[in-house]
Structure 1
Amino acid sequence: MPDDRAAQIAPIPVRPGEGRLANAPANHPPLAKARIGILLANLGTPDHYDYWSMRRYLNEFLSDRRVIDYPAWKWQPLLQLIILTKRPFTSGANYKLIWNEEKDESPLMTITKDQTAKIAQAAAERFGSDVMVDFCMRYGNPSTQSRVRAMVAAGCEKILFLPLYPQYAGATSATANDEFFRALTKEKRQPAVRTVAEYFDHPLYIDALAQSVERAYAALDSRPDVLVASYHGMPKRYLMEGDPYHCQCAKTTRLLRERLGWAKDDIDMSFQSVFGREEWLRPYTVEHVAELARQGKTNIAVIAPAFSADCIETLEEINGEIRHAFEEAGGKQFTYIPCLNDEDAHIAALMAVIEANLAGWIG
């Protein structure tokens, strides 16, 4: 399957004689007009939910030393001989449950395309035609390298790289940046680049989260006993080694609560997607929601503020495994509040972040 099958914004064609070298000889290679690129980056998605597509995707993901930092001699035999023999079947079955069959792609791909299209439109209205917007995935397609290559070929002499992770983590933001920098090593004429830092405390992002909660609560017959802010987990060891993710998740939860004007007991924080035997950040969402039900809090809502788009971890894990654990423990009403996806308030927040990071590059 072509690497750039999911590209939303086609590279702007190079037109001979368009470049800045007005006095260049006639046989000089054609140049594109100088542009600025805005490259969005998300985690990634398999091309399909069949065994081999899943195996390729999981191999790339689980071989990333930012994700699993065990020594290769210890981890790779386990990964290649055991995990990648079995897990593609179970993961593929989970993806099949949520797959966008009409477009033959995962929901993450569909949503990321929609986000990119809206940001491209907003950027064109605000900055004009000299700004190009595209997206890439850290794992799977379209690859970071293919999109960097397309932007450079289209004349982007400056690229703003935006990992779509509100909170920073080594296993998300840092590995996306790593792959971006690796892609730059392939370019003879490297563009000037900037990477966008975490934006979890941006007022417009917090406001967009709050609006999504307010809309969801307004549609319910009864107010939930508690809102659980469920974040993707990580080994506790990473926190001890200096990763700021846990602290930024806690601050996100606090800022959301303050924006909503709620009491402390109205919202709490937990972590999902635990993998392996090592202790991860606690409490674990799947255990936490069951405990809430046993405590008599049988009406809860769950939101996932670390995800910019709904994906397997939200649509299948939260709405499947986590919901089931809550109901098995006696829970009655479980409400999942979708990610911000391509909501207008989310796009406005991302555009504010983009505009701030373009300062000095564009008027």
Structure 2
Amino acid sequence: MTSATRPPHAPADHPNVARGKTGILIANLGTPDDHSYWPMRRYLNEFLSDKRVIDYPWWKWQPILQLIILTKRPFSSGKAYESIWDKQRNESPLMTITRNQTRKIEAEMKDRFGDQVMVDFCMRYGNPATRAKLREMVAAGCERVLFFPLYPQYAGATTATANDQFFRALMDEKWQPAARTVPAYFEHPAYIEALAASIERAYAGAQKRPELLVVSYHGMPKRYLMEGDPYHCQCQKTTRLLQERLGWKSTELTTTFQSQFGPEDWLRPYTVEEVARLAREEGKKSIAVVAPAFSSDCIETLEEINEEIRESFEHAGGEHFTYIPCLNDDDAHIAALSEIIAENLGGWVV
């Protein structure tokens, strides 16, 4: 950390100022502090009150959220979190993985740029909060901050809301650092290579080679696509680039969407329904599922895919279900993220 000193030629009573660093602030979705009712309710309230996530009018949505959803959902969501909770560390896997990713990226950045950079992470919802982490960076002398939402594909409900929170945090600073945000990296060669390599390893280690790879992305209302959100198109391109890199036929993989919520029509096909259809109607006995939209394993992968979606496939007659973990802190993933960061630091550090 840069030590604070009095600027040259400043009067004796001028406050000390730390200067000279470039901050790299990595952002992930977030996690509750605990899986019990009140921490879950606070987390879900922050998440589901975000207009980027649920864009219904406040007067219409908030009574439903506060009086109905938040009286029941903290129990069911808390039970799901409890099934994957790291009781030894008393935190969710997302927190553990994001911290490990950050430490490895920090080591890479220090090797490249030395003490010029400061690396940390924040969460869009819950802790550590974006505002608090930006404040720490500014206090440590970061005159420039690169903000990196860990979402390969852009969506208003993920990348944009993380950026929104970062911009709101900048509004609190008397002396704002220069700021950049990292764009979506859904087609970056290093990301595609890391993803493909993880699939090849999983297939090589499978007891029975899967007949089909289900490439499952987090869903969103179809209306968002029609209103201009590029997420669906970027997901499709990731799948296509992945297929090309693997050298597979188009019949060897399929794109689906998971985690639908509420009464609207979401992007289809729904993963939980499609895996059952594959087993029941196409006679698929062995499939693998990978989730390229998630940079870290979390509730949507460890509980939803590896429990709920697996169960849907097996109940429909499927026999072999392989879940391919997210890239997490795999060395190839860290190298890809570090390359993306270095590209976006151009002109700021040497």
Q: Using structure 2 for the length normalisation, give the TM-score.
A: 0.98
Residue identity opposite 2:329 in structure 1: D
Distance 2:222 2:317 in 1: 30
Residue 247 in structure 1 maps to residue 247 in structure 2: no
Residue 343 in structure 1 maps to residue 345 in structure 2: no
SS at match of 1:126: helix
Distance 2:16 2:146 in 1: 24
1:22: how far off? Answer: 2.5
> Which residue does 2:273 correspond to in 1?
287
Distance 1:80 1:173 in 2: 26
> Which residue does 2:80 correspond to in 1?
94
Q: Which contiguous aligned blocks of 4+ residues in structure 1 show a shift greater than 3 angstroms?
A: none
Q: How does 1:199-210 map to 2 (within 5 A)?
A: 199-210=185-196
Unaligned segments of structure 2, at least 5 residues? none
SS at match of 1:327: helix
Q: How does 1:161-240 map to 2 (within 5 A)?
A: 161-240=147-226
SS at match of 1:162: strand
CA offsets, 1:124-164, max 9 Å, x none? 01011120000000000011000111100000000000000
The 8 Å contact of residues 276 and 316 in structure 2, kept in 1 or not, is answered as: yes
Residue identity opposite 1:317 in structure 2: E
Residue identity opposite 1:137 in structure 2: M
Residue identity opposite 1:304 in structure 2: A
**Does the C-alpha gap of structure 1 residues 322 and 16 become closer, same or farther in structure 2, counting only changes over 3 Å?**
closer
> Which residue does 2:132 correspond to in 1?
146
The 8 Å contact of residues 3 and 140 in structure 2, kept in 1 or not, is answered as: no
Q: Using structure 1 for the length normalisation, give the TM-score.
A: 0.95
SS at match of 1:182: helix
> Which residue does 2:312 correspond to in 1?
325
Residue 70 in structure 1 maps to residue 51 in structure 2: no
Q: How many residues align?
A: 349
Q: How does 1:19-168 map to 2 (within 5 A)?
A: 21-168=7-154
Residue 312 in structure 1 maps to residue 299 in structure 2: yes
Residue 298 in structure 1 maps to residue 285 in structure 2: yes
Residue identity opposite 1:336 in structure 2: Y
Distance 1:267 1:23 in 2: 65
SS at match of 2:44: helix
Distance 1:103 1:129 in 2: 30
Residue identity opposite 1:119 in structure 2: I
The 8 Å contact of residues 116 and 349 in structure 2, kept in 1 or not, is answered as: no
Distance 1:245 1:268 in 2: 17
**Does the C-alpha gap of structure 1 residues 65 and 16 become closer, same or farther in structure 2, counting only changes over 3 Å?**
closer
Unaligned segments of structure 1, at least 5 residues? 1-11
Residue identity opposite 1:65 in structure 2: K
Distance 1:325 1:223 in 2: 20
RMSD: 0.8
1:27: how far off? Answer: 2.7
> Which residue does 1:356 correspond to in 2?
343
The 8 Å contact of residues 208 and 320 in structure 2, kept in 1 or not, is answered as: no
Residue identity opposite 1:325 in structure 2: S
Q: Percent identity?
A: 69
Distance 1:241 1:298 in 2: 38
Residue identity opposite 1:104 in structure 2: N
Structure 2 counterpart of 1:278, from 237, 259, 264: 264
Residue identity opposite 1:275 in structure 2: F
Distance 2:4 2:305 in 1: 52
Q: How does 1:13-24 map to 2 (within 5 A)?
A: 15-17=3-5, 21-24=7-10
Distance 1:56 1:96 in 2: 16
Residue identity opposite 2:333 in structure 1: H
Distance 2:71 2:259 in 1: 20
Residue identity opposite 1:49 in structure 2: H
> Which residue does 1:5 correspond to in 2?
none
Distance 2:290 2:98 in 1: 19
Distance 1:222 1:332 in 2: 10
Distance 1:329 1:15 in 2: 62
Distance 1:190 1:85 in 2: 40
Distance 1:262 1:128 in 2: 42
1:16: how far off? Answer: 4.4
